Amino acid sequence: MRGDRLTMRATCHLFLMLACLLTATAPLPAQTTLRVAAYNVRHGLGMDSVIDLERIASVLRPLDADVITLQEIDEGVERSDRVRQATELGTLLGMSAHFGDFMPYQGGEYGMAILTRLPVSSVTNHRLPDGEEPRTALEVKVAAGPDGDPVSVVGIHFYRTPEERLAQAEMLSEFLADLEHPVVLAGDFNSRRGDVVLQSLLQANWFVVDKDGPANTFPSDSPAREIDFVMLRPGSAFEVVEHRVIEESVASDHRPMLVVLRIW
């Protein structure tokens, strides 16, 4: 009997070792979707007049995004206690952080950021025509999809008059026209469907992703306008799995968005 028990114990150990070995050597499932979130965070200032980056992170964390474009980010600015907000949010979410400055502001810099958990091959902060304030578009090229193909995710925050926003949109389309890989454009357009800015982008072959459910994104506590969008070029490079506005009314004056794209 003792010998039988030893044999059974040895057999169990062998099965456990084989299971561990198979688990360790089994290939990870290929990534077939790209999850992109976009959020104008107003330097973390909520509708309650409290700056709280942990609250912003708690809104974004459940979205499980691969890439996040963030608008209105402070880096070392007096009004937000000199915090380097892109780095701080990247740390809170376990993602690499990339900041694109618009202009110097209160002893630091004001601009936008992109966070990602994907491999990054290049980062470009495209200078756009100045409006009432200087503006840029932040492009991060990541490896995505089952084969790690390049995809550029571009964060934008057009500002302020229709004429200024139109000039910014037209120049951005020119900057990105020669890219041979797909592009996701996401952020705060400060423009509505049907106006001259979106019409210009449609004419430049951008595909505007329709939202599932309520589409308005601003103001967050009582959304009355759809001014935050996700666009693709070419649209044929992706299948849209879902695109929705996240129901959040306090953390910022905009509501965040999530788009899930299947990569061909």
Question: Looking at the domain assignment, is residue 80 inside a domain?
Answer: yes
- Please list, residue by residue across 235-245, b when 16 or more beta carbons sit within 10 angstroms of its beta carbon and e when fewer do: eebbebeebbb
Average pLDDT over residues 132-136: 95
Look at residue 13 and tell me if it is in a domain: no
The answer to whether position 71 is within a domain reads yes
Query: How confident is the model at residue 145, as a pLDDT?
Result: 86
Give one DSSP letter per residue of 169-225, joined into a string. HHHHHHHHTT-SS-EEEEEE-S--TTSHHHHHHHHTTPEEPPPSS----BSTTS--B
> Can you give the pLDDT at residue 4?
52
**Domain-located, residue 255:** yes
State mean pLDDT over 11-40: 61
CA-wise closest residue to 164 among 190, 194, 131: 131
Domain annotation covers residue 6:
no
11: its two tokens: 């057999």
Confidence band of 14 (pLDDT split at 50, 70, 90): very low
* Least confident span in 24-33, 36-45, 127-136: 24-33
**pTM for this entry:** 0.88
Quick check: 40 pLDDT over 80?
A: yes
Is the predicted pLDDT of residue 18 greater than 60, yes or no? no
How many other C-beta atoms lie within 10 A of the C-beta of residue 11?
A: 10
Query: For the residues 13-20, what does the mean pLDDT come to?
Result: 45
Residue 234 lies in a domain: yes
Could you report the per-residue pLDDT of 160-218, keeping only the tens digit for each?
999 999 999 999 999 999 999 999 999 999 999 999 999 999 999 999 999 999 999 99
How many structural domains is the chain composed of?
1
| CATH number, domain containing residue 228 | 3.60.10.10
Q: Name the residue range of residue 49's domain.
A: 31-263
Q: What is the CA radius of gyration of the chain?
A: 22
- pLDDT higher than threshold 60 for residue 29: no
Give the number of other CB atoms < 10 A from CB of residue 63.
19
What's at 232, amino acid-wise? L
Structural domain contains residue 198: yes
pLDDT greater than 90 at residue 253? yes
What is the average pLDDT across 240-252? 98
Read off the pLDDT of residues 70-93 as tens digits, 9 standing for 90 and up: 999 999 999 999 999 999 999 999
Work out the angle between the directed axes of helices 162-176 and 196-203 (0-180°, nearest 10).
20
Instruction: Count, in order, helices (H) and strands (E) of the chain.
Output: 5, 12
Q: Is residue 26 part of a domain?
A: no
